[in-house]
Amino acid sequence: MLRNTTTRTLAMMALSVPAILGLAGVAEAQDKFKLGMAVGGNTCCEWMKSQGDVARALAEKEGWDYVELSNNNDPATALKNAQIFVQEGVDAVIQFNGQPSSNPAISAVMKQAGVPIVTYDIADPGMYFVGIDNLAAGIAGGEGLGAIVKEKWACNPDLVISAEGAAAGIVNEWRTGGMRTGLKNVCPDIPAEKWVSFESQGDAAVGLPAARDLLAAHPDAKKIAVVGLNDGGVLALINAAEQLGRADEVIGWGQDGAFITGDNVNPHLAGSVFYFLEGYAVYAIKDVIKPIAEGKEVPLKADAGDPASKVQPCPVTAEQAKAVPDMAERVKQLLAAPAGTTEYELFCPNKG
């Protein structure tokens, strides 16, 4: 009995495969413009999920179809998602790929299928670049920190610590390197031996032990300036300093503005640089996707120096950041604003 049923099922399966394959060749009729979005899917950051939410809301406003996938912070998954977008017949793709090592392969897939793709923040020659100039954002943050270091310590800190996150690749080098450059622009004479770094993994909780170890290895440093690839990494060092009883004279300046709004801001985080990452879709749609949807030719600008759409960094001190609403509120206001309005225009307290 059991054997018969199973055999029959198997036989049916085998026979139906060719029929199905034939059916599949008939593509579904499509008239609406279809936008694909691959979110980063790294668990580190709230904004990764919000990037998708904003893109979805804006696409719906435009009356487009919208498909969202998550790259799961995995290079192989990002490549697979690109193939699924092509299969689903999307007309354009936006991605945040926190594992940019797979970008060349994704580019190749997209190019072959003739689907334009926008990439956020991490450039690839085959993709429209939308995002921040990470190096410029780093320098802006470094100069903000420099102003405080100059005023408080006359440019003479005991130690400058950089919270690195090697997994972010070149972005990490641009941001932390930029911050060091910015700090040097203001305080050129900090001697080389005072610059040290630790691997924060860009996560306050994960980077904490390494931060404590680094502080232990520099037991005499009191006036400590901290830069980092994101607010989380800088917070790892600040929390470590609090735990080792050395936070009195720690001044941190982060990037991305993740932990400088709301009512739980660490007092040693003196400033950060807002990118308003959650609202990037505004730029991508305004400058790339919508023109493509309207049938216009959009030149491929793939370089971070000459991008398809440039996000302005918004360096803020902790004081200025108090005027900026938290992310959930920002998203609400952004979606209520007229089409094309950027978060920079809405929220940046000191537009340069």
Partner 1 sequence: MTDVTAAPARRPGLSEDWRAALTGSVASITLTFIVVVAIGWFWVGPKFLSFGNISIIGTFVIVPLIVGAFAGFALLSGVVDLSIGSMVGFSSALFALLLSLGWDPASAGAVTLLACLCFGGINAIAIVGFGAEPIAATLGMLVALRGIAWVLLGSQGSIFAFNLDMFNLVSTTVGGLPLFFLLAIALTLVAALVVTKTRVGRHIRAVGGDDKAAARAGISVKKVRVAALLLSAFGAGLGGIVYAAQLGSAARATGFGLEFQVYAALMIGGYSILRGGVGNPIGGALGLLAVAGVSNILDLKAISPYFVNIIVGLLLLAAVLLDRIRGGDAYE
Partner 2 sequence: MSFNQAIETAPPAVPLTVRFGGWGTGLMLLAVWLLLIAATSLYRPDFFSHQTVLAVTFTMAVVGVLAIGQGIVAMSGGFIDLSQPANMILASLVAVRLSEAGMPLAVVIVGAILAGMLWGAFNAAIIVFGKLNPVIVTLATNFIGLAALFLVFQLAEVPIGSEIYHFGRASFLGLPAIFWPMLALVLVVGFLVPRTRYGRRMIAVGGNRAAAKARGISLKATRFATFMAAGGFVGFAAVLFAATAGPFNPGSANTLQLNIIAGVILAGISLAGGRGNFWMLLLSVGFLSTIPTSLVFFGLSSDTQSIFQGFILVIAVAIDGWRARRATP
**Footprint on this chain of partner 1 (rule: CB under 8 A):** 2-3, 6, 9-10, 13, 17, 20-21, 23-25, 41, 67-70, 72-77, 79-81, 83-84, 87-88, 99-102, 104-105, 108, 164, 166-170, 172-173
- Residue from 180, 212, 301, 310 that binds partner 2 (CB under 8 A)? 212
- Helix 231-243 vs helix 204-217: crossing angle, to nearest 10: 50
Tell whether residue 287 is a contact of partner 2 (CB under 8 A). Answer: no
Nearer to partner 2, 246 or 286 (CB): 246
Binding test (CB under 8 A) with partner 2, winner from 155, 265, 300, 302:
265
Pairing of strands 309-311, 128-132: parallel
**Contact of residue 79 among partner 1, partner 2, none (CB under 5-8 Å per partner type):** partner 1
Please, which residue, 197 or 341, has the CB nearer to partner 1? Answer: 197
According to CB under 8 A, which one of 134, 176, 261, 266 is a site residue for partner 2? Answer: 266
- Shortest Å, Cβ 158 to partner 1: 24
Eight-state DSSP code of residue 91: S
Residue 299 backbone dihedrals phi, psi, to 5 degrees: -65, 140
Q: CA gyration radius for the chain?
A: 24
Each residue 138-167 as x (binds partner 2 by CB under 8 A) or -, in order, gives ----------------------------x-
For residue 25, the partner it binds in partner 2, partner 1, none, with Cβ less than 5 to 8 A by kind, is partner 1
User: Which runs of consecutive H residues, i.e. helices, occur in 187-296?
Assistant: 204-217, 231-243, 280-284, 290-293
Cα–Cα dist 36/92, whole Å:
6
Residue 226 near residue 215 (C-beta atoms within 8 A): no
Whole-angstrom CA distances from 218 to 237, 240, 261 are 13, 13, 31
Binding flags for partner 2, 49-88, as an x/- string (CB under 8 A): x---------------------------------------
Alpha-carbon span 232 to 200, nearest angstrom: 8
* Cβ-based burial of 298 (10 A; exposed 0-12, middle 13-18, buried ≥19): middle
- The site that binds partner 2 (CB under 8 A) totals a number of residues, namely 37
Q: Is 46 in the site for partner 2 (CB under 8 A)?
A: yes
Give the C-alpha distances (Å, rounded to integers) separating 148 from 13, 58, 143.
Answer: 71, 39, 9
Q: At what angle do helices 103-113 and 75-87 cross, to 10 degrees?
A: 10
CB of residue 269 to partner 2, shortest distance in Å: 11
Q: 172 or 312: whose CB is closer to partner 1?
A: 172
Q: Which residues bind partner 2 (CB under 8 A)?
A: 43-46, 49, 166, 198-199, 201, 203-206, 208-210, 212-217, 219, 232, 235-236, 238-239, 242-245, 259, 264-267
